[in-house]
Amino acid sequence: NEVAKESLRSPICCIMGHVDTGKTKLLDCIRGTNVQEGEAGGITQQIGATYFPAENIRERTKELRPDAKLKVPGLLVIDTPGHESFSNLRSRGSNLCDIAILVVDIMHGLEPQTVESLNLLRKRNTEFIVALNKVDRLYGWKTCKNAPIEKALALQSKDVVIEFNMRLTHVITQFKEQGLNTEIYYKNKEMGDTFSIVPTSAISGEGIPDLLLYLVMWSQKTMVEKLTFVDKVQCTVLEVKVIPGHGTTIDVILVNGVLHEGDQIVACGSQGPIITTVRSLLTPHPMKELRVKGTYLHHREVKAAQCMKITAQGLEHAVAGTSLHVIGPDVDIEEAKKTAMED
């Protein structure tokens, strides 16, 4: 039975993995941005978020599957740091997502934070797909810009294909040692029991169409219940930031429900509950990273799933990683305060 498109929210996808496997670069490749090159030391140190509208995903995947039906409004992707010192941020990201991408560098195989991320995902039974990234680094790789991966592989020399298969087999064995069955996605007949691997390059874009299409098709096929829009607001604070001209703002992920300008909200504060009123709801442009300074779009209301910046008074002591609550007409303020501080 067909689910009306309006009733599904965008899936939230977290991108995780060991440091420098190319998580941010993969997102740059899809966005057409240069966020990674602007990072201090090339290291991600914050959670990021980007909204990809379905029409952009459609455009990027039409060569692979021109007739694919996208039923979700888009995809909200959360970027996390891979450096070992940020396990709290990986945990925060993995707690928010419906589905995940676990990035593995094809030249390195599984690394410590690959395993750490894998275990976070398993703890919550989160479905994920493995992006086996940096295929362009295989010796002799012929660039096939933004091509579906099977097309790109078909153009490679015999030696490249041999090296690719050897490294792929090695990674599959390493996952097996972690108790996980994996297979390259177009040969995976047991989706659900066996996790899929999509080879990618964040530099030349091979495999990106496959990655995007798989994420969308898989989530809209298997997570209809989870992705069905509900009115009750579910919202998490990612970061608390001072922005010139806006004062202290909070970056949030709206997982479900609708937020409005003027909503009365309760946030968890380090010095007690914060009750305030939403002054403005600001989103980055579609396909732009929330954590990078840029121009914001103002909204009267924002429907989940989305990432946005909220400006309001009194947010100085808000605590990142906690939930935000909306005080509706029939909500008891004292109860709301208590719930807010439970995080």
Binding site for ligand GTP (CB under 6 A): 17, 19-25, 36, 42-44, 81-83, 133-134, 136-137, 201-203
Hey, is 97 helix, strand or coil? coil
Distance CA 321, CA 315 (A): 14
Give the residues across from 79 on adjacent strands.
15, 48
Supply the minimum distance, in Å, between the C-beta of residue 20 and ligand GTP. Answer: 4
Residue 134 binds Mg ion, judged by CB under 5 A = no
**Residue 309 contact partner, candidates Na ion, ligand GTP, Mg ion, none, CB within 5 to 8 A by sort of partner:** none
- Asked if residue 26 lies in contact with residue 133, where contact means CB atoms within 8 angstroms, the answer is yes
Instruction: Name the minimum Å distance from CB 43 to ligand GTP.
Output: 4
Phi, psi for 153 (deg, rounded to 5): -65, -35
CB of 291 to Na ion, least distance (A): 14
On whether the CB atoms of residues 123 and 139 are closer than 8 A, the answer is: no
83 and 21 Cβ atoms separated by less than 8 Å: no
Instruction: Read off the tokens for 59.
Output: 């455009």
Residue 256 as a binder of Mg ion (CB under 5 A): the answer is no
All residues at 6 or more sequence positions from 110 whose CB lies less than 8 Å from its CB, including other chains: 104, 171, 174, 175, 178
> Which range of residues in 21-29, 184-192, 221-229, 277-285 is near Mg ion by CB under 5 A?
21-29
Least distance to ligand GTP, CB of residue 133, Å: 5
Between 43 and 115, whose beta carbon lies closer to Na ion? 43
Residue ranges binding Na ion (CB under 5 A):
20, 42-43
Q: Which is nearer to ligand GTP, 35 or 254 (CB)?
A: 35
Q: Least CB distance from residue 215 to ligand GTP, whole Å?
A: 17
* From candidates 10, 21, 33, 44, binder to Mg ion by CB under 5 A: 44
CA–CA dist 279, 94 (Å, integer): 29
Question: Considering the rule CB under 5 A, would residue 24 count as an interface residue with Mg ion?
Answer: yes
CB burial readout 239-272, b (16+ within 10 A) else e: bbbeeeebebbbbbbbbbbbbebebbbbbbbeee
Which lies closer to ligand GTP via its Cβ, residue 18 or residue 325? 18
CA distance 161 to 91: 36
Shorter beta-carbon distance to ligand GTP: residue 83 or 226: 83
Judged by CB, which is closer to Na ion: 50, or 236? Answer: 50
92 lies in the binding site for Mg ion (CB under 5 A):
no
DSSP E strand stretches across 89-145 = 99-105, 127-133
**Do residues 106 and 167 make contact, with C-beta atoms less than 8 angstroms apart?**
yes
Beta carbon of residue 319, minimum distance to Mg ion (angstroms, whole number) = 24
Report the partner that residue 134 touches, choosing among Na ion, Mg ion, ligand GTP, none (CB closer than 5 to 8 A by kind). Answer: ligand GTP
CB closer to Mg ion, 44 vs 156 = 44
**Which is closer to Mg ion, CB of 9 or CB of 23?**
23
Helix/strand/coil percent split, the chain, to 5: 30, 30, 40
23 binds Mg ion (CB under 5 A): yes
Minimum gap (Å) between residue 42 Cβ and ligand GTP: 5
Q: Which is nearer to ligand GTP, 201 or 220 (CB)?
A: 201
> Is there a cis peptide before residue 312, judged by omega within 30 degrees of 0?
no
Question: Which residues lie near Mg ion (CB under 5 A)?
Answer: 23-24, 44
